[in-house]
Structure 1
Amino acid sequence: MTPIVEAAGLRKTFHDRDIGDVTAIDGLSLCVGQGELTALVGPDGAGKTTLMRMFAGLLKPDQGSLTVLGIDVARRPQAVQDRISYMPQRFGLYEDLSVQENLDLYADLHGVPADQRRDRFGRMLEMTDMARFTERPAGKLSGGMKQKLGLACTLVRSPDLLLLDEPSVGVDPLSRRDLWKIVHQLVEDEGLSVIVSTSYMDEAERCAQVHVMHEGRMLAEGTPATLRARAHGLTLVATPPAGTPARDLQARLIDAPDAIIDAVPRGGNVRFIRRPDADPARLADLLEGASSQTRCEELEDSFMILLREQDRAAEPLVAQAEPDRPPGDGKPVIVVRDLVRKFGDFTAVASTSFEVARGEIFGLLGPNGAGKTTTFRMLCGLLPATSGQLEVAGRNLRVARAQARARIGYVSQKFALYGNLSVRQNLEFFGGAYGLGGKMLRDRIRDAVEQFDLDPAAQSGLLPAGYKQRLAMATGLLHRPEILFLDEPTSGIDPLARRAFWRRITALAKGGVTVIITTHFMEEAEYCDRIAIQDAGEMLAIGTPQQVRDMAGHAGARDMNSAFIAIVEAGRKRRDAQAAA
């Protein structure tokens, strides 16, 4: 097959005045075939985005050769840019313009002839299912719809190569499914060559070729089946004894790197990878009576094996639990009754009710635009409710918002860090905002730096996404809150960083901290004691992960991803039927 991209000995170094030279791409070589869907995967800081920007002619290699579509990119970047389409992580939609106006603008920028626009726009609007929304301002679209519009704007002309940098970050499973339908349709119907970088291993599994990167180098490459074979014979699934949460068994396994490479809860069980030389007696001790059996290996299993082989220092840190808090009086720490929030005529949250107990991990799930973040902001006292009862940490948020806020921690979707400040300066600032000072603040910062493995002198704006997430968590926990709110904290970070994150969360919950979390990773719902699924401001389901899977019926019984999709689609059919009646 004709190569569409060929790279040999690529190297790219950036200079930072504070930390010196940083090598983003280090002697990397690869070959990408024409008409294929190709994935770049790797942990945060692996160099995926730098490599994509070099493919697009936006960065020039310091060393090595790179040809795209048979063109030397370093010598003729514009010739490459005239024939490709590139969708970066933050695609530049104009939020004040309508969907149609955004399409027109990008067609103008790319010089698409007027006689080609009608057919091209029609095809893109049909594929993205956005023909009904051409007059809607882009700023009023949900996150998933914005991603689909971004892809449509990227494709207003017909390129020879499409580059997608983390296209599904921050979008829900339904939107992710729709995006990938579009990409596969383009590959199959138009023979388009597509290179995609992704943090989702199930997305990489759908590609013809997968390239695994680490610290600017190529670790492995091949078909998904070839890469999966690395984990053959090492993958198992354990069923916890009755009454033992899957996350407790997962924590015990992942804390034993001498015998276990990786462990993650799924479907009420724990899927894990043993080390090739693991002592059977040691495994039996770790399982503590849980039954186990072999299972088919997945691409994520091989990915985790490759990363552990490269960097033993990347083993998940065992988070220290907060000192056990005194037992509560049995009353819930969060009470929500008939909560409503309206913005003018638009109802963002409609008559929502639930309770959360002390030390519980409660997951709030839903598609983009479902009202999760609005609910969160009301729970944190950042946004007043239109009506309903809302109590947090025993305080009525209508009359005692400040007192409640002093007892909670909050990590937002787009980590509220000061990028020009160092790690230590961010911790000092947020500690002061929480009322900490003197020796107590110095001690808490020292503990946070040690627990989250942070470099106090590093500039926070230059940290990889996984380390930014660690720092954001550290700032939210400095004052040792009773309740921790986490709004999509793992969006855009790799599986390795997600494991370490959840190990910390389970330790905090064991110490009595109540955790409320929103997430688009359905595997993370398995760590929760209970989950609620919202859509269009309405509560569709609430219960333990197993209860929610059961509510979804046969289609959702196998995994949380299919359960989520089944419940949301059933809710939308019901609403459409009511609207038509």
Structure 2
Amino acid sequence: MAGAPALVFEGVSKTFEAGGARVPAVDCLDISVPAGKVSGLIGPDGAGKTTLMRLAAGLLLPDEGVIRVLGVDVLAKPLVVQSSIGYMPQRFGLYEDLTVQENLDFYADLQGVPPTQRDPRYRELMHMTGLAPFTRRLAGRLSGGMKQKLGLACTLVRPPRLLLLDEATVGVDPVSRRELWAIVYRQVRDHGMTVLLSTAYLDEASRCEEIILLHQGRRLGQGSPGSFSEPLRGRTFRVAAPSLGKRRLQTRLSHVPGILDAIIEGERVRLVTAEAGPVDLEARLPDVPDLTMEAAEPVFEDAFIATLKRSEESSPAPLAGASPGPESPGTTGQPMIEVRNLQRRFGDFFAVRGVTFRVGRGEVFGLLGANGAGKTTTFRMLCGLLPVSDGTVRVAGLDLRRAASRARGRLGYMAQRFSLYENLTVVENLRFFASAYGLNRARRTQRIGWALEAFELGGYADSPSGELPLGYKQRLAMAAALMHEPDILFLDEPTSGVDPLARREFWQRINALAESGVTVLVTTHFMDEANYCDRLVIMADGEVLTEGSPAQMKARFRSAERPDPTMEDAFIGLIEQHDQQQEAAS
């Protein structure tokens, strides 16, 4: 039937048992996904996005309701449905001890692709993903972005009529994300494929033709990105105050009544107000003489936040970190992190070569790069988790190569993936880390109480950490990293996979720490988060491409066609320039 939707949910519900209680993941849901388009499934953590996709793929059975995929009843004929769709979950099952080619062959066998059809499809997929030179490489030795592209290629070995992508671009650098999107749209164009994807990147949602907004298992809205953002016209603004600085300005604006959202955007702060019309900020911030405000074009992210965020939201409790030092944030005075000619070799291969930078007290410093650029290796050496092959690394005034244990006692570390003990409760994890950092009993008790209150973990104190929602896992990991009040906090892609509401809360806490004098070194693939950094370096092929403030980097790519470039524009531009130079030299 022409024009029939590719996916239909009618009154679908699904609940799970958690801690002795029944938790609804999908609650009497009605949705319709149009055929031949790219639709985005958007919502905060726990909204039901993954459950919806697993139900659509026939991997879960609903408690009630009807699900039709490509006109077929999923409950009656799950195998027919599964033979017509492609599903790439958050953690796609690549076999890391097999080569790229062997993974393709394995999934072609699973999907019943005839041998005569394989070679042409392989060539097309390898060309699209840029993996043609790496077919003999083990999957486990690919970068994160390359693994995601291989996972997508394996899913597409047999072109499905419906493609389900569950956060396929999480943890992937902007260049690889753009390439993944190009692959997806090519499938829609060339094969008439229907695509339903979930994503934590709201700029990606804006590229979708249709958006389905979920919250607590229910549909809050559905339509084009513009249908969500247009009602906010007259409620979005950009504010600047050079004398105050973007970080302090954001903190103060977030407490002004009538402001739903305040987020750093470039060198300004973007506002979403509860009502149309500008807020009288001069009356609210009378001590800021250079305050300016201009109207901004509304985008989908504004609508997402305005829909989900409560009008009156309490700010995070003050964070106890290091006491503010005598220096202002920046690189003046004694640096808290000093790196000179840092090298890391694996045999004859240089993963990091000649990296040099300094980070001052109370500074937020970003370490950015494409997947495989060497930033994680650099990060792990600075934390003392990986030996340095050559060069000098000083943290908190201590030589990391000569006084590693003393230096590590001044550091806090939050890993990219949740690395606490999932079978221990929240309190047991906090108690363990307090003991590991050498806190005495009285101090341990005080700090655990602080963590439960400051991170609003009291209601989960006796819950196994593995059962926490993702946003609360992030809170617990950060609390554990701060138990000993470190001078320096290392954050390795701390918001990967976390929804925008949780990311905003996270950065409010980071700003408070920086204001108290804690030095923060962060890696991230969210380019909008790079705007929170005072300075940053961008790496490629183990070397530093450039160093400076976000404003300095964006200024390099300002033009008549692009008068207000974003950090993503700057990042992609720098990587492309580097790649062109490498090609010219080869």
Q: Which residue of 2 is the match for residue 305 of structure 1?
A: 306
Shift in CA distance, 279/4, structure 1 to aligned 2, threshold 3 Å: closer
CA contact (8 A) 2:362 2:515 kept: yes
Shift of 1:332: 0.5
Cα distance, 1:279–1:323 mapped onto 2, change above 3 Å: farther
Instruction: Give runs of aligned pairs for residues 7-406 of structure 1, distance below 5 A.
Output: 7-16=9-18, 18-241=19-242, 243-256=243-256, 258-276=257-275, 280-281=279-280, 284-286=283-285, 288=288, 289-309=290-310, 316-320=315-319, 322=321, 324-327=323-326, 330-406=333-409
Contact 1:550–1:556 under 8 Å retained in 2: no
Q: 2:511 aligns with which of 506, 509, 520?
A: 506
Query: Greater shift after overlay, 319-328 or 288-297?
Result: 319-328
Select 2:472's aligned residue among 456, 467, 471.
467
Distance in 2, matches of 1:556 and 1:378, equals 38
SS in 1 for 2:280: helix
TM-score of the pair, normalised by structure 2 = 0.95
Name 2:575's counterpart in structure 1.
568
Code of the aligned partner of 2:574: I
- Displacement after TM superposition at 1:312 (Å): 5.5
SS in 1 for 2:309: helix
- Aligned twin of 2:565: 558
Deviation digits for residues 451-481 of structure 1, max 9, x if unmatched?
A: 1111212221122221111111010001100
Answer yes or no: is the 8 Å Cα contact 2:235–2:276 preserved in 1. no
Deviations 1:55-80 (A, max 9, x none): 11001001111111111112221111
Residues 20-61 of structure 1, C-alpha deviation per residue, up to 9 Å, x if partnerless? 211111111101111111110001111100111001100100
Give unpaired runs (5+ residues) of structure 1.
Answer: none
Residues 360 and 519, structure 2, Cα contact 8 Å, conserved in 1: yes
Question: What are the Cα deviations for residues 389-440 of structure 1, in whole angstroms up to 9, with x where unaligned?
Answer: 1111111111100000000000011121111111111111111111124221
Say which SS state the counterpart of residue 203 (structure 2) adopts: helix
Distance apart, 1:548 and its partner CA:
1.6
What CA RMSD, in Å, does the superposition of the two structures yield over aligned residues?
Answer: 1.7
Deviates more, 1:293-302 or 1:65-74: 65-74
Residue 569 of structure 1 and its aligned partner are, at CA, apart by 1.2
Q: How far apart, CA to CA, are the structure 1 residues paired with 2:153 and 2:172?
A: 16
* 1:442 alignment partner in structure 2: 445
Q: Give 4+ residue runs of structure 1 displaced > 6 Å after superposition.
A: none
The residue identity in structure 2 corresponding to 1:572 is D
Structure 1 residues 463, 87: closer, same or farther in 2, change over 3 A?
Answer: same
Amino acid in structure 2 at the alignment position of 1:354: F
* Alignment match, 1:548: 553
Query: How far does the alpha carbon of each residue in 1:460-507 deviate from its partner, in whole angstroms, 9 at most, with x for none?
Result: 112222111111101000110000000000111111111100000010
In the other structure, the counterpart of 1:407 is 410
* Displacement of 1:577: 2.1
CA shift for structure 1 position 557: 5.3
Conserved 8 A contact 1:319-1:503? no
d(CA) in 2 for partners of 1:192, 1:108: 22
State the AA in 2 paired with 1:360. E
Q: How many residues align?
A: 574
Distance in structure 2 (CA, Å) of the matches to 1:556 and 1:109: 50
1:450, distance to aligned residue in structure 2 (A): 1.1
Among candidates 473, 483, 501, match of residue 496 of structure 1: 501
Looking at structure 1, the residues matched to 204 and 283 of structure 2 have their Cα atoms a distance apart, in angstroms, of: 34
Cα distance in 2, alignment partners of residues 126 and 556 from structure 1: 34
Change (3 A) 1:425 1:135: same
Going from structure 1 to structure 2, the CA distance change for 1:221 and 1:570 (only over 3 Å counts) comes to: same
The AA in structure 2 aligned to 1:167 is A
Deviation at 1:574, TM superposition (A): 1.6
- Would the aligned equivalents of 2:282 and 2:291 in 1 still touch at CA under 8 Å? no
Of residues 427-436 and 549-558 in structure 1, the stretch that sits farther from structure 2 once superposed is 549-558
Amino acid across the alignment from 1:529? D
CA-CA distance at 1:550 after TM superposition: 2.3
Deviation at residue 330 of structure 1 after TM alignment: 1.9
Task: Provide the C-alpha distance between the structure 2 equivalents of 1:34 and 1:516, rounded to a whole number of angstroms.
Answer: 45
Task: Give, in whole Å, the separation in 1 of the partners of 2:555 and 2:543.
Answer: 20
- 1:424 counterpart (423, 427, 430): 427
- The one-letter code matched in structure 1 to 2:583 is D
Q: Give the distance between the partners of 2:325 and 2:315, measured in 1 at CA.
A: 28
The one-character-per-residue Cα deviations of 1:319-372 (angstroms, maximum 9, x if unpaired) are 435363342692101110000001112111010000011111000000011111
- Give the Cα separation in 2 of the matches to 1:104 and 1:221: 39
Q: Distance in 2 between matches of 1:339 and 1:459?
A: 40
Show CA shifts across 1:168-222 (max 9, x none). 0000000000000111111122110000011111111111110111111111111
- Which of 331-340 and 446-455 deviates more? 446-455
Counterpart code for 1:522: M
Given that 2:170 and 2:497 are in contact with CA atoms closer than 8 Å, whether structure 1 keeps it comes out as yes
User: In the aligned structure 2, how far is the partner of 1:295 from the partner of 1:325?
Assistant: 35
Distance in 2 between residues matched to 1:98 and 1:323, nearest whole Å: 48
Query: Following TM superposition, by how much is the alpha carbon of 1:266 offset from its aligned partner in structure 2, in angstroms?
Result: 1.5
Give the whole-Å Cα distance in 2 for the aligned partners of 1:22 and 1:105. 37
Q: Which amino acid aligns with 2:323?
A: D
Asked if the contact 1:557–1:563 (Cα under 8 Å) also holds between the matched residues in 2, the reply is no
Q: Is the 2:258–2:279 Cα contact (8 Å) retained in structure 1? A: no
- 15 and 558 in structure 1: CA distance in 2 versus 1, 3 angstrom threshold: same
The 3 A distance-change label for structure 1 pair 218 and 476 is: same
Q: Structure 1 residues 146 and 15 mapped into 2: Cα distance closer, same or farther (>3 Å)?
A: same
Q: Aligned-pair distance for 1:278? A: 7.9
Q: Distance in 1 between matches of 2:557 and 2:351?
A: 24
Higher mean C-alpha deviation, range 402-411 or range 328-337: 328-337
Single out whichever of 346-355 and 568-577 deviates more from structure 2: 568-577
State the one-letter code of the partner of 1:133: F
Q: Residue type of the partner of 2:464?
A: Q
For residues 304 and 339 of structure 1, the distance between their equivalents in structure 2, rounded to whole angstroms, comes to 41
Structure 1 length as normaliser, TM-score? 0.96
2:455–2:479 CA contact under 8 A, matched in 1 = yes
Contact (CA 8 Å) 1:549, 1:558: kept in 2 or not? yes
Letter paired with 2:321: E
Deviations 1:91-117 (A, max 9, x none): 011111111111001001111111111
Select between 327-336 and 149-158 the one with higher mean Cα deviation: 327-336
Instruction: Name the aligned partner's letter for residue 582 of structure 2.
Output: R
Aligned-pair CA distance for 1:527: 0.7
Alignment-mate amino acid for residue 248 of structure 1: R
Q: Which of the residues 484, 487, 498 maps onto 2:489?
A: 484
Per-residue Cα deviation, 1:483-542 (whole angstroms, up to 9, x for no partner): 000000011111111110000001000001000000001111111110100011010010
